[in-house]
């Protein structure tokens, strides 16, 4: 039977430790058998002093891992050995480790950076010592081989960038193998270059995880990677990729449907899967809504999830319906805000041609805008209550982000003071 892992990226909205058992129970009931935890910036790694947010303590993480194991999950961790280290490298104290000054990547030719990653691997192993795997990330290394030292390191190689990449990632994989674990690496540095033979330079124990969130099967590079003889896993996404074109407040029906379709495509391959749940589109991007927003996608990804229904009476279903109600209210207020903005523009254009009627802007725009602000504040409180009741992090940021989008400012008339008239 194929393995069916759930990846949780904690840089986004995530459960506080006391609420972890509730979520774990739900994930278990859906039929996930493994967890891949990406603690990212939410855990104070000893290897990265001063870089993380104060969210999970060591005791929290150990208890969360222990409970997951006791509930029958395999548990492994995910760290990043080269790219996507913004959360740490953005701090001045780690600036010397950056590749060509870019804050998302470290330079694999900098001995201090290599030492840092090796220490981090050791720390992750010690944190979850009987994990079967340690995922090393290795994806989207966009600035690979741009500094002089890396250029020099790659000299003479047919593919200089790949040579530098493999030198570093291979060394990290071997360190993981040395700890008795199997390393995992994301696939995209191979897929994006259509370059698969170099995989064979990695230790035989390495697993390549082929993530693909938007295309249909057959997935790019999957057959070629399987042809290397290495173990290849697939990765759909339960929560990913909301750009500005798709951001629709706190729920996106079409977005969730796209996730379900992506998951079903991957399930047809029959290979082991890691169902990814990303925290934000990228480290400096907006937060995704809570897990409840993606309830159907979680269920579609679970081996036993087909029987889960959002109109059921389990706690997760009840809270998911509550989220839908908040979304309906959010959507109503969003439309109202846009309408008021448009109305203010309309009245100001009328004034240019035929003048103003005293009090009209006040009645149609200012007064209604004040009423809207009251409704928005009521929603803000309901959102906070939802986060509190469900033990979710990042309430302040998420609510600030989304509430601020609700009320586009009115276009002010030429003389706002005069428009305040109560006389119509
Ligand atoms: Zn470099």
How many CA atoms lie within 13 Å of 49's alpha carbon, on the beta-carbon side? 1
Whether 289 and 329 share a structural domain: no
Q: Which helix (H) or strand (E) holds 36?
A: strand 34-38
What is the pTM (predicted TM-score) of this model? Answer: 0.95
Q: Based on the domain organization, do 278 and 408 belong to the same domain?
A: no
The predicted pLDDT at position 105 comes to: 97
For residues 86 and 159, give the distance between their C-alpha atoms in angstroms, rounded to a whole number. 26
d(CA 378, CA 362): 23
- Separation of CA 108 and ligand 1 centre (Å): 6
The predicted model gives 335-356 an average pLDDT of 97
Q: What is the CATH number of the domain that holds 287?
A: 3.20.20.80
**Is 180 part of a structural domain of the chain?**
yes
| Residue 265 CA, ligand 1 centroid: distance in Å | 38
pLDDT of residue 28: 97
Q: What's residue 248's pLDDT?
A: 67
Which residue has tokens 């979520």? Answer: 23
Among residues 253, 287, 308, the one where a domain terminates is 308
Whether 244 shows a pLDDT value over 80: the answer reads no
Give the model confidence (pLDDT) of 31-87 as tens digits: 999 999 999 999 999 999 999 987 899 999 999 999 999 999 999 999 999 999 999
* 261: confidence class by pLDDT, cuts 50, 70, 90: very high
Give the model confidence (pLDDT) of 142-197 as tens digits.
999 999 999 999 999 999 999 999 999 999 999 999 999 999 999 999 999 999 99
- DSSP letter, residue 408: P
What pLDDT score does 53 carry? 87
Q: Which of 280, 308, 336 is the last residue of a domain?
A: 308
Same domain as 183, residue 59 = yes
Does residue 374 belong to any structural domain of this protein? yes
In the reported structure, the alpha carbon of residue 175 is separated from the centroid of ligand 1 by a whole-number distance in angstroms of 21
Asked if the structure places residue 300 within a domain, the reply is yes
Per-residue model confidence as pLDDT tens digits over 363-382: 999 999 999 999 999 999 99
For the residues 292-308, what does the mean pLDDT come to?
95
Backbone angles phi, psi at 229, to 5 degrees: 85, -5
Confidence class of residue 424 from pLDDT cuts 50, 70 and 90? confident
Query: How far is the centre of ligand 1, averaged over its atoms, from the C-alpha of 139 (Å)?
Result: 16
Q: How far apart are alpha carbons 272 and 222 in whole angstroms?
A: 13
**Residue 77 and residue 98: Cα distance in Å, rounded?**
24
- Could you give the percent of the chain with pLDDT greater than 70? 99
* Three-class secondary structure of residue 392 per DSSP: strand
First to last CA, the chain: 73
Q: How far is the CA of 138 from the centre of ligand 1 (A)?
A: 15
**Residues β-bridged to residue 99:** 102
At 246 the pLDDT is 64
CA dist 158 to 138, 145, 155, 164, 224, Å? 21, 14, 9, 11, 20
Lowest mean pLDDT among 132-136, 254-258, 339-343, 412-416: 254-258
Question: What's the gap in Å between 199 CA and the centre of ligand 1?
Answer: 21
Same domain, 235 and 345: no
- What does the CA dihedral 396, 397, 401, 406 come to, rounded to 10 degrees? -10
Which residues are within 8 A (CB) of 276 and not within 5 positions of it... i.e. 6 or more apart? 7, 9, 211, 213, 235, 236, 237, 238, 239, 240
- Supply the range of the domain harboring residue 284: 4-308
Tell how many helices (H) and how many strands (E) occur in the chain.
Answer: 15, 11
Residue 153 resides in a domain: yes
Q: Please state, in angstroms and as integers, the Cα–Cα distance from residue 364 to each residue in 217, 361, 414, following that order.
A: 53, 5, 16
Residue 54: predicted pLDDT = 77
Residue 424 lies in a domain: no
Please identify every residue whose CB atom is under 5 Å from ligand 1, which is an ion.
99, 107, 109, 147, 149-150
Asked whether residue 252 is assigned to any structural domain, the reply reads yes
Query: Chain-wide mean pLDDT for the chain?
Result: 95
Q: Are 322 and 291 in contact (CB under 8 A)?
A: no
What is the average per-residue pLDDT within 277-292? 93
Torsional class of 124: left (φ above 0), alpha (ψ -120 to 50), beta (otherwise): alpha
Contact by Cβ (8 Å): 392, 14? yes
- CA 144 – ligand 1 centroid, Å: 7
How far is 78 from 121, CA to CA, in rounded Å?
10
DSSP state of 314: S
Contact call for residues 33 and 3 (beta carbons, < 8 A): yes
Whether residues 226 and 98 fall in one domain: yes
Peptide bond into 218 cis (omega under 30): yes
The pLDDT of residue 225 is above 80 = yes
Kindly report the backbone phi and psi dihedral angles of residue 232, in degrees, each rounded to the nearest multiple of 5, phi listed first. -120, 130
Q: How far is the CA of 106 from the centre of ligand 1 (A)?
A: 7
Do 13 and 86 belong to one domain?
A: yes
d(CA 320, CA 76): 28
The answer on 391 and 260 residing in a single domain is no
Give the distance (Å) from ligand 1 centre to CA of residue 148.
Answer: 7
Q: Are residues 323 and 264 part of one domain?
A: no
Interval between CA 173 and ligand 1 midpoint (Å)? 19
Inside any domain, residue 314 = no
Do residue 142 and residue 222 come from a single domain?
A: yes
Backbone angles phi, psi at 237, to 5 degrees: -125, 135
Taking residues 86-97, what's their average pLDDT?
97
pLDDT at 159: 94
Do residues 87 and 213 both lie within one domain? yes
Whether 14 has a pLDDT exceeding 80, the answer reads yes
Residue 103's φ and ψ, nearest 5 degrees, are -80, -5
Same domain, 234 and 175: yes
Domain presence at residue 132 = yes
Q: Which of 55-64, 238-247, 305-314 has the lowest mean pLDDT?
A: 238-247
Residue 385: name the closest of 307, 306, 304, 329 by CA. 329
Does the pLDDT of residue 329 top 70, yes or no?
yes
Average pLDDT over residues 343-359: 96
Residue 402 has pLDDT above 70, yes or no: yes
Q: How many domains does the chain have?
A: 2
Q: Are residues 295 and 408 in the same domain?
A: no
Closest-CA residue to 138 (of 80, 63, 183): 80
**Which among 308, 334, 357 is the end of a domain?**
308
Does position 306 have pLDDT exceeding 80, yes or no? yes
């Amino acid at each position: 039977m194929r393995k069916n892992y759930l990846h949780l990226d904690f840089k986004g909205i995530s459960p506080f430790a006391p609420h972890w058992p509730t979520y774990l129970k739900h994930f278990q009931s859906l039929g996930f058998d493994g967890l891949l935890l990406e603690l990212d910036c939410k855990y104070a790694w000893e290897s990265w002093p001063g870089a993380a947010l104060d969210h999970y303590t060591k005791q929290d993480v150990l208890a969360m891992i222990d409970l997951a194991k006791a509930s029958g999950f395999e548990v492994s961790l995910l760290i990043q050995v080269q790219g996507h280290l913004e959360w740490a490298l953005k701090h001045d104290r780690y600036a010397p480790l950056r590749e060509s000054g870019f804050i998302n990547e470290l330079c694999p030719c900098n001995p201090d950076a290599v030492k840092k990653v090796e220490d981090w691997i050791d720390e992750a192993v010690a944190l979850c010592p009987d994990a079967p795997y340690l995922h090393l990330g290795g994806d989207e290394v966009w600035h690979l081989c741009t500094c002089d030292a890396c250029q020099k390191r790659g000299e003479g190689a047919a593919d200089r960038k790949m040579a530098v990449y493999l030198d570093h990632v291979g060394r990290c994989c071997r360190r993981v193998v040395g700890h008795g674990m199997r390393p995992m690496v994301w696939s995209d540095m191979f897929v994006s270059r259509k370059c698969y033979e170099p995989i064979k330079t990695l230790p035989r124990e390495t697993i390549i995880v082929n993530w693909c969130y938007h295309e249909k099967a057959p997935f790019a590079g999957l057959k070629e990677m399987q042809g290397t003889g290495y173990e290849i896993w697939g990765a759909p996404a339960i929560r990913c990729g909301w750009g500005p074109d798709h951001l629709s407040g706190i729920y996106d029906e079409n977005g969730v449907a796209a996730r379900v379709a992506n998951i079903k495509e991957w399930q047809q391959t029959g290979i082991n899967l890691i169902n990814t749940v990303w925290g934000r589109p990228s480290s400096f991007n907006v937060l995704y809504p809570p897990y409840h927003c993606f309830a159907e996608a979680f269920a579609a990804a679970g081996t036993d999830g087909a029987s889960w229904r959002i109109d059921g009476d389990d706690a997760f279903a009840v809270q998911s319906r509550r989220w839908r109600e908040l979304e309906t209210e959010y959507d109503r207020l969003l439309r109202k805000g846009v309408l008021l903005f448009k109305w203010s523009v309309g009245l100001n254009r009328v004034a240019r041609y035929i003048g103003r009627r005293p009090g009209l802007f006040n009645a149609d725009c200012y007064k209604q805008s004040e009423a809207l602000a009251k409704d928005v504040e009521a929603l803000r409180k309901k959102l906070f209550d939802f986060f509190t009741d469900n033990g979710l992090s990042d309430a302040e940021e998420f609510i600030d982000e989304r509430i601020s989008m609700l009320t586009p400012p009115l276009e002010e008339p030429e003389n706002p003071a005069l428009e305040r008239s109560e006389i119509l």
